[in-house]
């Protein structure tokens, strides 16, 4: 089993959330079925397909762990396309057309004005060729054979080819549109499944006849519902929200992938720590037909929930070198992004900026330092410290705990204090209490 994900290099940005979702679904499907996940770079437009744009695609996929088993570039396969194009031309399945874009648009408006579908009208084979014009080329659909397939998501599909325009496959300048080269690639690479958005359903209908014209059986298709942003815009217009944005924001790739794997399905959206786990229950039977609503805030929430469950081994290479597993387990419930860890680690090991305390709070810190000095630090020091202060000062609740937290962490909230001061140790705890008593 083989699937392929395609990207056209572009100077407009890195991979956005819509095409990441499609690539992810191709990857998970291949991973679950132990098949091949192929990357095809549609770089036939040489002006747009510069080296740095191609490298950006590879970089984004690598960051997400969506590593292809192989990569092909269409710019290296022109000889193959020419051979197959000539073969189709010899049997009349591709043919030249000489209308200008203006003429085609005018005819389209005329048909619409008559209440007719704006389908391209073939010229007779013996129609005169306009002088001085170069042709564009269309694939000749077989109007006598309905196009049918059972989509893995949409179910039974049926198209009347008489209601479809013969698709343009090659421009006047000889450059390729993606429809025919993609089919030629899929045949050559042995692609068995094609996963893409439902905006390609009509293209798939035309391509099924292209597969047949090339003497090959069409792959299985899965057309997933489009991704829709909260304001109703479609996935291709979600703009810059994608791999580059998330990396700059310090979001874990698995937070986004956890959402994109489940959004629009009957499965719960929850933080999943590995691609293998996501792949294990990936099934197109879970996918619905309604548009999948994407909310960037869900990625933020999932990112925090994911961090709260990650083991130390999963992140230790990205933490300060002297971070112990106990430090990670203590601090991770307070993280929204992994980059937050550094500031909390400073609470454990470094300096803190304590806010100005009231006079009675400074006196309480002086008493707290005296109590902490004589405590046995191996016997639940936080419980012993607060119990004695409660008894001697008469303070309790926020009146007791809030100034202690400020003095020891410089924060209004944070990790559970019992574990925190045990990790800080007696010396640093005393140092901070004494410093707070003098402020």
Summarised one tens digit per residue, pLDDT across range 158-216 is 999 999 999 999 999 999 998 999 999 999 999 999 999 999 999 999 999 999 999 99
Residues 31/275, Cβ–Cβ less than 8 Å: yes
Q: 2-7 and 36-41: which strand pairing? A: parallel
| Average pLDDT score over the chain | 90
Confidence grade of residue 11 (pLDDT, cut at 50, 70, 90): low
The arithmetic mean of pLDDT across residues 76-81, rounded, is 95
Other residues' Cβ atoms within 10 Å of the Cβ of residue 268: 6
Sequence-ordered list of residues with C-beta below 8 angstroms from that of 110, at least 6 positions apart, any chain: none
Does the pLDDT of residue 235 top 50, yes or no?
no
Residues in binding site: 236
- Alpha helices (H) along 75-130: 78-90, 101-113
pLDDT band at 233 (very low <50, low <70, confident <90, very high): very low
Task: Evaluate whether 439 touches 364 at the Cβ level (below 8 Å).
Answer: no
Annotate 168-194 with b (16+ C-beta within 10 A) or e (fewer).
bbbebeeebebbbbbbbbbbeeebbbb
C-alpha pair distances (Å), 336 with each of 43, 211, 339, 363, 408: 38, 49, 8, 35, 22
What integer is the mean pLDDT of 239-261? 86
Structure confidence by residue, pLDDT tens digits, 365-380: 999 999 999 998 888 9
For 129-156, what is the mean pLDDT?
Answer: 94
Task: Scan for tokens 């800080």, then name that residue.
Answer: 424
Model's pTM, two decimal places? 0.86
**Which of 112-121, 186-195, 356-365 shows the lowest per-residue confidence on average (mean pLDDT)?**
112-121
pLDDT tens profile 404-415: 999 999 999 989
How confident is the model over 258-273, as a mean pLDDT? 94
Q: Which pLDDT does position 137 carry in this prediction? A: 96
Exposure string over 389-398, b if 16+ CB within 10 A, otherwise e: beeeeebeee
Helices (H), 153-225: 179-189, 201-213
Q: For residue 237, is pLDDT > 60?
A: no
| pLDDT over threshold 60, residue 13 | no
Query: What's the pLDDT band for 48 if we cut at 50, 70, 90?
Result: low
Most confident option among 1-5, 66-70, 235-239: 66-70
Q: What pLDDT does 141 receive?
A: 97
Predicted pLDDT of residue 234:
41
Q: What pLDDT band is residue 28 in, cutting at 50, 70 and 90?
A: very high
Q: How far apart, in whole angstroms, are the C-alpha atoms of residue 177 and residue 376?
A: 77
CA atoms of 23 and 122, how far apart (whole Å) = 37
Please enumerate, by residue number, every residue annotated as part of a binding site for ATP.
236
Q: Kindly list the structural domains of the chain, giving each domain's residue range(s) and its CATH number in brackets, ordered by start.
A: 312-348 (no CATH), 351-437 (1.10.10.350)
């Amino acid at each position: 089993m083989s699937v392929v994900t395609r990207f056209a290099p572009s100077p407009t940005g890195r991979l956005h959330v819509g095409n990441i979702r499609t690539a992810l679904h191709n990857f998970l499907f291949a991973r679950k079925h132990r098949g091949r996940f192929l990357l095809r770079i549609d770089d036939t437009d040489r002006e747009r397909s510069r080296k740095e744009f191609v490298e950006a695609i590879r970089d984004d996929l690598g960051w997400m762990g969506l590593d292809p088993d192989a990569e092909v570039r269409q710019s290296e396969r022109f000889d193959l396309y020419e051979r197959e194009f000539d073969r189709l031309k010899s049997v009349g399945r591709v043919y030249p057309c000489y209308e200008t874009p203006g003429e085609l648009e005018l005819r389209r408006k005329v048909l619409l004005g008559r209440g007719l579908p704006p389908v391209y009208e073939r010229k007779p084979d013996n129609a005169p060729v306009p002088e001085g014009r170069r042709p564009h080329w269309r694939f000749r659909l077989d109007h006598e054979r309905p196009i049918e397939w059972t989509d893995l998501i949409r179910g039974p599909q049926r198209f009347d080819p008489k209601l479809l325009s013969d698709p343009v496959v090659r421009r006047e300048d000889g450059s390729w549109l993606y429809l025919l080269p993609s089919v030629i690639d899929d045949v050559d690479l042995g692609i068995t499944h094609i996963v893409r958005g439902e905006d390609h359903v009509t293209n798939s209908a035309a391509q099924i006849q292209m597969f047949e014209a090339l003497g090959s059986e069409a792959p299985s298709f899965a057309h997933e519902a489009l991704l829709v942003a909260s304001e109703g815009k479609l996935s291709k217009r979600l703009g810059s929200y994608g791999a580059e944005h998330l990396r700059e924001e310090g979001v874990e790739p698995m937070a986004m992938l956890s959402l994109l794997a489940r959004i629009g399905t009957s499965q719960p959206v929850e933080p999943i720590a590995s691609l293998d786990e996501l792949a294990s229950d990936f099934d197109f039977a879970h996918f619905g037909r309604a548009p999948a609503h994407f909310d960037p805030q869900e990625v933020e929430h999932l990112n925090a929930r994911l961090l709260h469950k990650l083991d130390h081994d999963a992140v230790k290479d990205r933490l300060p070198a002297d971070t112990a597993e106990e430090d990670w387990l203590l601090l991770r419930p307070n993280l929204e992004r992994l980059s937050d860890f550094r500031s909390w680690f400073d609470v454990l090991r470094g300096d803190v900026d304590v806010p100005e305390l009231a006079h009675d709070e400074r006196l309480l810190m002086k008493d707290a330092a005296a109590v902490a000095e004589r405590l046995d630090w191996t016997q639940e020091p936080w419980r012993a410290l607060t119990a004695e202060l409660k008894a001697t000062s008469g303070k309790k609740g926020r009146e007791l705990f809030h100034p202690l937290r400020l003095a020891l962490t410089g924060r209004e909230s944070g990790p559970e204090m019992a574990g925190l001061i045990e990790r800080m140790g007696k010396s640093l705890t005393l140092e901070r209490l004494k410093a707070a008593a003098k402020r």
